[in-house]
Structure 1
Amino acid sequence: MIRIASALALLAAAAAAVAAREPVHLPVFQEDFPDPAVIEHKGQFIAYSTNNGANLPVAVSSDLVNWRFATRPDNPKKPLDGMPKLGAWARVGRTWAPEVIEIGGRWVLYYTARHDKRNIQCIGVATATDPLGPFVDTAQDALVCQPELGGTIDANVFRDADGKLYLYYKNDGNAVRKPTELWAQRLSDDGTALIGEPVSLKLKNDQPWEAHAIEAPTMVRRPGGYTMLYSANHFGWEPHQRLSPYAMGYAVCTGPMGPCTDGPGSPILYSYNDKEAGCLSGPGHQFVFKGRGRDFIAFHGWAATKGCRKADDKRYLYVAPLFWKEGKPVVGPSLRAAAK
């Protein structure tokens, strides 16, 4: 098991890289791993991503910088699918943005999938006795759908200091040429059912840099209050674009159910091609987690060539320390292996 000193050494290595004018952000996992979420369990880090063949891709690491796909217990040569079978309501092929949390001794997964009858994206919930799965969704229908608003995607689960659970999500308005908005709703104590009606956080795609979509809500509680991180704009990197317009912003919230107001200085992380800082395209769909007692942020970015052009049609995993400056989230230089 890695000790605190090892985690601090990773941060020191990242800072040293910046001082040496190396790229500020480098991926820790150069495999297709979009929309990442990371947990720490028994000295191991486990990450989940949007489907890339498996319904629920799973990667593991002992130090946050060296990752590999988890493998099947019965066949170590094959990658593990953390959710081999989707819920009865879901269609295989568009399983997005999973998040996992431990509740009452079992593991609860929130995932986005295509509703077979409604033909829109919706959010479901599944459970497992182990964070590596297999996760099972026994419900006959999705947890939340919002068909009148284009569907629902990008679940984020948050446990407040009093133990209450909340679910955040985005109505998939841009899929049907409607506005997008972030929503909050209470969860039952076991995390498998919704309580009450959804509440708008008053966060919409109403800023120029956000363009047609705001998504990927991530609620964080810090000493000064509640902060909602989110991503916005088109996630892709099209042939005519020099860089992807996808970026990360934040909002300040009065409580776990909002309302929230856009934070000054957004976006806080965006695409760039700089001689000293390097190349980063389409950073977003962030996830904040605790690792060895401190805050980290995971996000994805597009695979790029040395000339900062789109390479493969893959989004890589990045992990960086998350700092706070006068209430504003600040993404530090990403972790990377120390030079040998």
Structure 2
Amino acid sequence: MIRRALAGACLCALAACGATAAPTPAGESVTFTNPVHDADFPDPGVIRVGRTWYAYGTNGAGKNVPLLTSPDLVTWQPRGDVLPELGSWAEPGNTWAPEVIQLAEDRFALYYTARSTRTGRQCVGVAIAAAPEGPFADASPAPLICQADEGGSIDASPFRDADGTLYLYWKNDGNAIGRTTHLYGRRLSPDGLTLTGEPVKLLANTAGWHGHVVEAPQLVRRDGRYYLFYSANAFDQAAYAVGYATCETPLGPCQDAPENPILSTGPGAAGPGHSYLVTTVAGETWLLYHAWPPDAIGSVEPGRTLWLDRVDWEAGKPIVRGPTHTPQRRPA
């Protein structure tokens, strides 16, 4: 009964069904200018619950998983650490790329990357909370995914298909040991805690612009088609960029888009990447991503700031209108 309710309710990462768009407050500008959060906030993973957007980021300022909230995707406020204690299998200091999915009215799963004390590699864990602001807790004595022989596992991203089936996507950290990197997909159990079936390789770093890395996967369903957004190249270089592939099913096969990359370095933003596509109540699609200031690539401060740009669709292809560093219309 719960699963049937979720399939028709506002529990997907791309939109919150049944919610209404928040009006622009009187006197507030109808435009905004990037970045929307002018401080370090790498690897954003985003959901909407009710009228509020929640963004989860890579560790920083003493927080394992820092949280930002926003009513409109433009105005963001820090809200502390949603994962104050890591799972017993993990050591602090390398908690990366968290993403959250809502499984029931009072059940949220957070997938995060951390350093395994047993293998010394980055691995993926899952933590549960009753609310999107946490606190999340990982009760497992071991990570959910840990491909130590492939360099480790990072950048986990959950996806719920139209029929309610759950999937998880991630990257093996092959570049850490000089090996090929792949984007993987696998089915998840309904409770979000167990992987089922076999992992499937969906994409590898084979294109010239990929460099040694493909990472940060996010699967999106639009008009009955599946799109696998991802980032590639060195995260601390201007060559870092965003591309996508089209997939026949949630587990492939996937075909890389010939027009890639679709978001790359531009005025005001260097090495844009680790993107997350969201859909507003009005049906608009927008891309949240991090980027370096061009004169401070690889910096600790300000680090990778949070950017937002519109995505249009032309003949079934996503067109990112960015990076945009001049005023643009706010999301509807």
Give the shorter-chain TM-score range: 0.7 to 0.9
C-alpha distance in 1 between matches for 2:21 and 2:217: 31
Match of 1:265 in 2: 259
CA contact (8 A) 2:185 2:201 kept: yes
CA contact (8 A) 2:157 2:218 kept: yes
Match of 1:245 in 2: 239
Match of 2:196 in 1: 195
The alpha carbon displacement at 1:58 in A equals 0.5
From 308, 319, 322, the counterpart of 1:330: 319
From 57, 68, 78, the counterpart of 2:66: 57
The alpha carbon displacement at 1:292 in A equals 2.4
C-alpha distance in 1 between matches for 2:164 and 2:113: 24
Kindly provide the CA deviation profile for residues 207-263 of structure 1, in whole angstroms up to 9, marking residues without a partner as x: 1111110001110111151111100000003xxxxxx11000111111000010111
Q: Does 1:229 align with 2:237?
A: no
Cα distance, 1:98–1:13 mapped onto 2, change above 3 Å: same
Aligned partner of residue 283 in structure 1, secondary structure: strand
Match of 1:94 in 2: 94
The alpha carbon displacement at 1:304 in A equals 3.9
Which sections of structure 1, spanning at least 5 residues, go unmatched? 15-24, 71-79, 238-243, 273-277
The alpha carbon displacement at 1:64 in A equals 1.4
Equivalenced residues, count? 305
Q: Does 1:35 align with 2:53?
A: no
The alpha carbon displacement at 1:309 in A equals 7.0
Q: Which amino acid aligns with 1:98?
A: P
Q: Which amino acid aligns with 1:329?
A: P
The alpha carbon displacement at 1:291 in A equals 2.5
Q: Which amino acid aligns with 2:182?
A: E
Q: Does 1:68 align with 2:71?
A: no
CA contact (8 A) 2:236 2:297 kept: no
Q: Which amino acid aligns with 1:217?
A: P
The alpha carbon displacement at 1:290 in A equals 2.6
Q: Which amino acid aligns with 1:327?
A: G
**CA RMSD of the aligned region, Å?**
2.5
C-alpha distance in 1 between matches for 2:278 and 2:138: 25
Match of 1:298 in 2: 288
Kindly provide the CA deviation profile for residues 65-116 of structure 1, in whole angstroms up to 9, marking residues without a partner as x: 111211xxxxxxxxx1101000010010000000001002211100000001
The alpha carbon displacement at 1:38 in A equals 1.6
CA contact (8 A) 1:270 1:282 kept: yes
Aligned partner of residue 279 in structure 1, secondary structure: coil
Aligned positions of 1:1-340 closer than 5 A: 3=21, 6=24, 13=31, 26-52=34-60, 53-70=62-79, 80-105=80-105, 106-201=107-202, 203-237=203-237, 244-272=238-266, 278-294=267-283, 295-305=285-295, 312=301, 314-333=303-322
The alpha carbon displacement at 1:11 in A equals 11
Cα distance, 1:293–1:142 mapped onto 2, change above 3 Å: farther
C-alpha distance in 1 between matches for 2:160 and 2:182: 21
C-alpha distance in 1 between matches for 2:138 and 2:82: 12
Aligned partner of residue 81 in structure 2, secondary structure: coil
Match of 1:75 in 2: none
CA contact (8 A) 2:182 2:204 kept: yes
C-alpha distance in 2 between matches for 1:2 and 1:144: 37
C-alpha distance in 1 between matches for 2:30 and 2:251: 37
C-alpha distance in 2 between matches for 1:251 and 1:317: 24
C-alpha distance in 1 between matches for 2:29 and 2:123: 38
Cα distance, 1:91–1:255 mapped onto 2, change above 3 Å: same
The alpha carbon displacement at 1:338 in A equals 7.1
CA contact (8 A) 1:185 1:196 kept: yes
Cα distance, 1:211–1:310 mapped onto 2, change above 3 Å: closer
Aligned partner of residue 162 in structure 1, secondary structure: coil
Match of 1:73 in 2: none
Aligned partner of residue 209 in structure 2, secondary structure: helix
TM-score (norm 1): 0.84
C-alpha distance in 2 between matches for 1:153 and 1:338: 34
C-alpha distance in 2 between matches for 1:291 and 1:38: 12
The alpha carbon displacement at 1:145 in A equals 0.8
